[in-house]
Amino acid sequence: MAALALALGVAVPAHADEQSYLTDLADHGFEGEISVALEMGHQICTDVRDGVPEETTVAAIYDHTGDGVTIEDARYVYDAAITHLC
């Protein structure tokens, strides 16, 4: 589906919220590097704290991820970060 950021085949000690975020993304077909997914998720939280509009952050996710990522995928990543990390 979307080449975002999650290789969950590697056992990495993660904070419970981080693990639920990664699991949520993996369950919805996102794959790639864990560190990239976590960095993106934490950046989303920073944007929220800094008052960056949701649409701006979603557009940035869309613009800076793989070709297979749709705007709907970007919104899903945003929502998952809000739910699990922020």
* Contact assessment for residue 25 and residue 80, using Cβ atoms and an 8 Å cutoff: yes
What's the number of domains the chain is made of?
1
Q: Which domain holds residue 28?
A: 2-84
Q: pLDDT tens digits, residue range 32-86?
A: 899 999 999 999 999 999 999 999 999 999 998 877 889 999 999 999 999 999 9
Q: What pTM does this model have?
A: 0.80
**C-alpha to C-alpha distance for 14 and 73, rounded to whole angstroms:** 23
